[in-house]
Structure 1
Amino acid sequence: MTTTTLDKAADVVVADERPRKRRRGLAPGKRLPAARLTGPLLVLVLWAVASAAEALDAAAIPAPWTVVETGVQLWTDGTLITDILTSLQRAASGFAIGLTAGIVLALASGLTRTGEALIDGTVNLNRAIPTLGLIPLFILWLGIGETFKIAIIAIVVYIPIYLNTHAALSGIDNRFVELAEVQGLSKLRFIREIVIPGALPGFFVGLRLGVTGSWLGLVVLEQINATSGLGYMMFQAQNYGQSDVILVGLVVYGIFGLASDSTVRIIERRVLSWRRTLSS
């Protein structure tokens, strides 16, 4: 082999040993602070511009400043704060029950074949039935008071939490199970070190859906034989044609929904900080 040939071969080896440059531009990029508020703020700006230009019917869609003025007035006379506290109590009670039921049922169904046979089909049957369609039956069973409202909210919450957590449990790679058996892990340690970390991403997806569902169910339930709450306030405003009061209720619902979803996102990022995902 000639010297020239050896030199070329050496150059090829050196070129292969050089670190390859990382391709850029495929990932979404760095996360911007408060980026999810851009959309709502844009809607607010367009609403304000259209109201200022008198492009909207003020009787049907009042201007943002009119809604703010009405909200301040309702807060000052104590009406709004009372309705908010009542709605928060209902949503929190139903959410706590639904969260507990969803986790317990998902663990029982996802970790045992007997639990899966008894629970999974029943929950999917419940999912196929419109939850709000259960209202007349629950009124006959539990009465027209607060109990049936909390029960309906609990059902709305537990279904997405169960489905996503159960799917995450069922999707754990069987190689991890085999590795745990080889390592001689106990059942409790297996659940703590493999099952729970593997199911957490799915659980948080269900948790976000459950939080949103609690507010969606509440706005309907508070219009049924209620004497307080944001839904009741909006229903009364409808009878008197007070669109500004209805918009106040919708804005408050939106704020609580966005705040609760953002809280779950923050908790999720902290708990799952060990994961390297596209969003991070």
Structure 2
Amino acid sequence: MATTEARTPSAAPSAPRRRVPGPGGRRRIPFARALGPLLLLATWQLCSVTGILDPQTLAPPGAVGQQARELLISGQLGHHLWVSLQRAALGLAFGATTGVLLALLAGLSRLGEALIDGTAQLFRALPILALVPLAILWFGIGEEVKIILVALGTFFPIYVNTHAALTGLDLRWAELAATVGLNRRQFLRRIALPGAAPGFFTGLRLAVTVSWLVLVVSEQINAASGIGYLMEQARTFGQTDVIVVGLVVYGLLGLASDTLVRLLERRALQWRTTLG
């Protein structure tokens, strides 16, 4: 009788890895995100050259670039930019810290949910910029009101998204924590905080954008420095090129801060499987 021997199959040569296309089977175009801004810039230049745009209405790109260069050389742009960065950073720090703490209290406690979440949702419906007159009456027209307005604007995106991530945690994690005997501190560190991290970073991305939107308004409240103050002074003298420089700076700051948050999110959430 012929006997058959079990043979271990030899490892087949691995196929070369192919780059996975983007969503919908389409390959990503390098620098695709820059195409839109470049097209907008070209349209702006074309309208300025052909006279469709009056320089008094909107300065041409060349004039804006020249004005930005002069502001950089004189040191004005650097000074106002540094002041704005400090205000935005302080407001974001206060808003983020308060948002996370209150989200943890509301998301991990029934009493906290009853006391905090309803109040937060009530105030979230109020436009932040509509609170400017009341904030001036309460805190004056100094630096405090600018930082507080930024903190209020950044608090709600972080609170709402972090709270939603906490309340959306699978109950089996809580049962597992009770089974293995985790105390509240261990549960917070090993389960609650990692589970809330995706929501926190989503809220943080929204918050950094809101911080610049609120700052541009708050810096026009009796300010003596900041990008918003620079734009307000330019409006008084009809300097559209300086106004556009300020808008470009705000846009670049928003893009840079969003990119930084995305990098932090990617590093902090390496455990999470993502598509693309």
The normalised TM-score by structure 1 is 0.85
Note the C-alpha offset of 1:137: 1.4
2-side partners of 1:273 and 1:230: how far apart? Answer: 36
Report whether the alignment pairs 1:188 with 2:166: no
Report whether the alignment pairs 1:230 with 2:198: no
2:208 to 178, 192, 211: 211
2-side partners of 1:33 and 1:104: how far apart? Answer: 40
2-side partners of 1:105 and 1:33: how far apart? Answer: 41
Report whether the alignment pairs 1:111 with 2:111: no
Q: What's the % identity of the aligned pairs?
A: 55
1:10 paired residue number:
none
Report whether the alignment pairs 1:135 with 2:132: yes
Q: How many residues align?
A: 256
Note the C-alpha offset of 1:263: 0.4
Q: Which moved more, 1:156-165 or 1:110-119?
A: 110-119
2-side partners of 1:84 and 1:48: how far apart? Answer: 26
Q: Which moved more, 1:256-265 or 1:106-115?
A: 106-115
- Structure 1's unaligned 5+ residue stretches are 1-23
Report whether the alignment pairs 1:96 with 2:106: no
Amino acid at match of 2:134: L
Q: Which moved more, 1:64-73 or 1:245-254?
A: 64-73
Which ranges of 4 or more aligned residues in structure 1 deviate by more than 6 Å? none
2-side partners of 1:188 and 1:84: how far apart? Answer: 41
Q: Deviations over 1:63-115 (max 9, x none)?
A: 21211100111121222111111111111111111111111111111111111
Give 3-state SS (helix, strand or coil) of 1:204's partner.
helix
Q: Which moved more, 1:111-120 or 1:41-50?
A: 41-50
Report whether the alignment pairs 1:84 with 2:81: yes
Give 3-state SS (helix, strand or coil) of 1:225's partner.
coil
Give 3-state SS (helix, strand or coil) of 2:273's partner.
coil
Q: Which moved more, 1:241-250 or 1:44-53?
A: 44-53
1-side partners of 2:37 and 2:167: how far apart? Answer: 37
1:176 paired residue number:
173
Give 3-state SS (helix, strand or coil) of 2:116's partner.
helix
2-side partners of 1:124 and 1:57: how far apart? Answer: 45
1-side partners of 2:32 and 2:263: how far apart? Answer: 14
CA RMSD of aligned residues (A): 1.9
Report whether the alignment pairs 1:65 with 2:62: yes
Amino acid at match of 2:216: V
